[in-house]
């Protein structure tokens, strides 16, 4: 009798563990390096979920550095792949300390050393560096498609979380994407958190090599813009449509 009870207990325990592994976070195998994919689910690549809005690319469900759609995540200077404490020209990787001394991604000698590079290399793409080769930062064409392809609403308390931001509702399939108003970083400070969202693209500005394109929003509007490259801003990654 005791043996039968023990066998029954072990069977229940094994089933419970199996359900936990399959229904919770995806089961991870051996650690994989950048460039190796673990496509365990239709909406999950390398452990990061995406939203299919019916566009040319799929958009990540959360910011780089975040675990949920409402977390702000990390802040990155344009072309840098790690968060840091201080965001200034003096601490920017691709500058000699001023606006007009860019050492990479420069189109005019007025702004620094010319290399005619207008789009981030994979090695300088924070999404690729942190999430693997399937993921990357969006181009401005993809940003435009996102902004034009969704109806946008400002929410001050998204789903009762207390987080403010913009909800995009796809015009093609009705699916949702949420972008928290994470603000930005300059020097060692945080600015306009809960009021503005600023998200980098992978594209250098056409007007000045000291700036790169982003998209920004507040409670009134959402649109494309440009920012000084040293500022710490959010990144929402994209992945090829499946």
| Euclidean distance between CA atoms 113 and 92, whole angstroms | 15
- Per cent of the chain over pLDDT 90 is 81
**Greater pLDDT, 123 or 15:** 123
> Domain ranges in the chain?
61-240
Ranking 26-35, 44-53, 122-131, 175-184 by mean pLDDT, the lowest is: 26-35
Specify the pLDDT at position 40. 35
pLDDT band with cut points at 50, 70 and 90 for residue 125: very high
Looking at every residue in the chain, the average pLDDT score rounds to: 87
Specify the pLDDT at position 5. 44
> Residue 21 gets which letter from DSSP?
H
Prediction pTM value: 0.83
Ranking 20-24, 98-102, 122-126 by mean pLDDT, the lowest is: 20-24
Evaluate if residue 55 carries a pLDDT over 60.
yes
Q: Decide: 105 and 79 in contact? Cβ < 8 Å.
A: yes
């Amino acid at each position: 009798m005791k043996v039968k009870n023990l066998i029954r207990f072990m069977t229940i325990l094994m089933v419970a563990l199996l359900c936990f592994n399959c229904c919770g976070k995806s089961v991870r195998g051996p650690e994989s390096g950048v460039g190796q994919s673990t496509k365990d689910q239709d909406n999950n690549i390398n452990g990061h979920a995406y939203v299919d809005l019916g566009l040319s690319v799929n958009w990540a469900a959360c910011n780089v550095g975040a675990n949920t759609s409402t977390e702000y995540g990390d802040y990155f200077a344009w072309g840098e792949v790690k968060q840091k404490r201080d965001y200034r020209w003096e601490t920017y990787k691709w500058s000699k300390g001023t606006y007009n001394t860019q050492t990479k991604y420069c189109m005019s000698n007025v702004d620094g050393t010319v290399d005619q590079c207008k789009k981030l290399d994979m090695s300088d793409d924070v999404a690729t560096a942190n999430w693997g080769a399937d993921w990357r930062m969006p181009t401005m064409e993809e940003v435009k498609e996102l902004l034009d392809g969704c109806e946008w609403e400002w929410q001050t308390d998204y789903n009762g979380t207390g987080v403010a931001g913009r909800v995009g509702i796809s015009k093609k399939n009705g699916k949702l994407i949420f972008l928290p108003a994470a603000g930005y970083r300059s020097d060692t400070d945080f600015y306009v958190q809960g009021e503005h969202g600023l998200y980098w693209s992978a594209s250098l500005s056409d007007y000045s090599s000291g700036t790169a394109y982003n998209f920004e929003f507040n409670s009134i509007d959402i649109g494309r813009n440009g920012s000084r490259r040293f500022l710490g801003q959010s990144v929402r990654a994209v992945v090829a449509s499946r």
